[in-house]
């Protein structure tokens, strides 16, 4: 099971905070397939105009946006 992490940086203080994305029922969004989770993170990163960064968390690891770009480069 995988989750999407959203990293938010406060432009005034430089402090960062990570939050988990929620589903439509206000529960933590859980994705079964790593490839699908990476694809979602890639789309979120491409459409983020507020400076937020998205990554995937699962199996005790965090998969960053560079991995999502490498594994799904044909989506760009």
- At residue 10, φ and ψ (nearest 5 deg) are -75, 120
Query: Could you report the per-residue pLDDT of 7-49, keeping only the tens digit for each?
Result: 999 889 989 999 999 999 999 999 999 989 999 998 999 888 8
Among 1, 6, 2, CA closest to 65: 6
**Cβ distance 28 to 3 under 8 Å?**
yes
Break the chain into its structural domains and give their ranges. 2-65
| 4/36 Cα distance (integer angstroms) | 11
Q: What is the value of pTM for the model shown? A: 0.79
Distance CA 29, CA 18 (A): 14
Is the torsion defined by CA of 35, 39, 64, 30 positive or negative? negative
């Amino acid at each position: 099971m995988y989750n999407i992490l959203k990293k938010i940086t406060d432009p005034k203080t430089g402090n960062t905070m990570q939050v988990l994305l929620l589903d439509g029922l206000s529960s933590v969004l859980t994705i079964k397939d790593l490839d699908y989770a990476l694809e979602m993170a890639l789309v979120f990163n491409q459409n983020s105009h507020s400076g937020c960064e998205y990554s995937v968390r699962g199996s005790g690891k965090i998969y960053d946006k560079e991995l999502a770009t490498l594994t799904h480069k044909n989506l760009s």
